[in-house]
Amino acid sequence: MSNDQETPESQVDVEAELENAADNEEQPHTEVGEHEYTIEELKKELEEAKQKAHDNWDKSVRTQAEMENLRRRTQKDLEDAHKFALTGFAKEILPVFDSLVLGLQAATGDSEDVKKFREGSELTIKQFEAMFAKFKIDAVDPLGQPFNPEQHQAMLMQVVEGAEPNTVVNVFQKGYTLNGRLLRPAMVVVAKAAEKPSEVDE
pLDDT at 80: 82
**pLDDT > 90 fraction of the chain, expressed in percent and rounded:** 58
Residues 174 and 101 in one domain: yes
pLDDT at 76: 87
First to last CA, the chain: 165
pLDDT at 183: 94
Residues 88 and 187 in one domain: yes
Three-point CA angle 64, 65, 70, nearest 5° = 100
Residues 89 and 176 in one domain: yes
Q: Model confidence at 18, in pLDDT bands (50, 70, 90)?
A: low
8 Å CB contact between 189 and 143: no
Tens of pLDDT, residues 73-128: 999 888 888 888 889 999 999 999 999 999 999 988 888 999 999 999 999 999 99
| 9 occurs within a structural domain | no
151 phi and psi angles, rounded to 5 deg: -125, -10
Instruction: Domain count for the chain, please give it.
Output: 2
Residues 166 and 92 in one domain: yes
